[in-house]
Structures are given as structure tokens and as C-alpha cells.
Amino acid sequence: MRIDVVTIFPSYLQPLREALLGRAIDRGLLEVAVHDLRDWTHDVHQAVDDSPYGGGPGMVMRPQVWGEALDDVLATPDLPARLVVPTPAGRPFTQATAHAWAAEERLVFACGRYEGIDERVLLDARARGITVDEVSIGDYVLVGGEVAVLVMVEAVARLLPGVLGNPRSAAEDSFSDGLLEGPSYTRPEVWRELAVPDVLRGGNHAAIARWRRDRALERTRDRRPDLLDALGPDALDAADRAA
């Protein structure tokens, strides 16, 4: 997969080159290119923003600069791209989104700042046949799109074949079966007078699987009842029995 990120703060994306993702890049499983939006400005001040039409707080990112940047970055007809624009006004980014995007050959991320990007940039991209996804990583307001891109790229890249050491990790993700993951334990057997649950030390794999399922049901009921509702009434009954 090829990932391009356009931003006025390229160094914000440096964490993508660390640890697991950095190793995936080094192994050629992932290609990441970060572009400085200001490279497409033509004035001495390298202006990327201007006052909003209709008034209101803050500034809006200029369409000319974004248009020229995306013309260049998206100009690879042999590699169809999906343009992703993080925004608090976007559709929710979920694990299902991550799985869908993991099948893409290329993702291009446009990181807005200020009050966002002039709407005509997205309209123009869609008019040129580019798939444009406006997505949000959660119901809170950030200062720009860069942190959201870090979140989304990590969620997508970990699903790519070969990136995770153990592919079972992705298969057994939280949300993969609609439930939250249950608690995890490792050595020592007792720590600060707190013991590992006996069932996990007993070697009965069927009992361990049931215990883990019950803990996942219980945790989901307590923390994310909305996820349980989506699984239907049997799931809620099972969660109540599991407690």
C-alpha cells in the first residue's frame, strides 16, 4: 500500500516511521510519503489560509494551494487513490473502515488546519472522479487532521499482511466479533496479592475460551451497550448470564 499525506506540519507524521510501522516501511510492506502543503504556495509568505466568506471565527485553507497540491499528488492514474479528509464533521472511522481501506492500493490523506479546507477542494476532487471520504476519529475536536491521520494509518497498516508478527492478533481484535476484548494477564501468577484467574492457568482450552467470551460480553455490556444492542437480544442475555 502507498500512503501520501499532505500537511503544513510534516514533522507531525514522523511517528509513522517508528516501531512497527517503521519496520513495515523498511520491509516494503508499506510506502509512506509526506508532502508539505507550503511547497505549492507561490507567495513570499507561503500563505495557505484566508478569512472565511460570511464571517465567523478563524481562517479557512485556500482552495488554490490545495488544488495544485492534490493535482500533483493524485496525478497517478495507474494507481487509483482514495482521498481521505479528516474532519469532526465526517462519518465515523471504525474498524470496519480500517478493514475496507486495508484493501486499497493507495490512500491520500489531506490534513486540514485552522477551520478546515475550502469545500470546493472536495467538490472539485469528486467532480474529477476521485473517491473522497470525510471521516472523523471521534466526537471531540482536535486542532488539525494530523493526529487523526496517525490514528487511521496505524489502524489500517496493522491489518496489512505481514505487518503484525501474529496475524491472529488482527483476527481477534476488539470489535472483530462485535465485542470489546476482555482482560489479559501474564507472569507472575500473583502480583501485589492479586492472582491470575485460575481458569487461565488450568489448561482447559474450552473453559478458557468460554471465560474469555464471558468477560468480553460482560465488559461490552458495561462499557459499550451500543455494541451489544447491534448484536441483537441474544447477546444481551448472554452478557447478563456471563456476569
Where in the sequence numbering do the catalytic residues fall?
88, 115, 158, 173
CB 86, min distance to ligand JE8, A: 3
Q: Does 37 bind ligand JE8 (CB under 6 A)?
A: no
Spatial distance between the Cα atoms of 160 and 147, rounded to a whole number of angstroms: 21
Q: Does 86 bind ligand JE8 (CB under 6 A)?
A: yes
| Number of residues lying near ligand JE8 (CB under 6 A) | 18
Q: Which of 96, 100, 92, 125 is nearest to 110 (CA)?
A: 125
In the region spanning residues 117 to 136, those forming contacts with ligand JE8, defined by CB under 6 A, are: 136
Q: Which of 117, 107, 102 is nearest to 66 (CA)?
A: 117
Please say whether the beta carbons of 179 and 217 come within 8 A. yes
Burial class of residue 64 (count of CB atoms within 10 Å of its CB; 0-12, 13-18, 19+):
middle
* Stretch of 25-33, 40-48, 109-117, 220-228 lying at the interface with ligand JE8 (CB under 6 A): 109-117
Q: Does 116 bind ligand JE8 (CB under 6 A)?
A: yes
Q: Does 140 bind ligand JE8 (CB under 6 A)?
A: yes
CB 233, min distance to ligand JE8, A: 32
* Residue 75: other Cβ atoms inside 10 A: 9
**Which residue among 75, 127, 141, 206 contacts ligand JE8 (CB under 6 A)?**
141
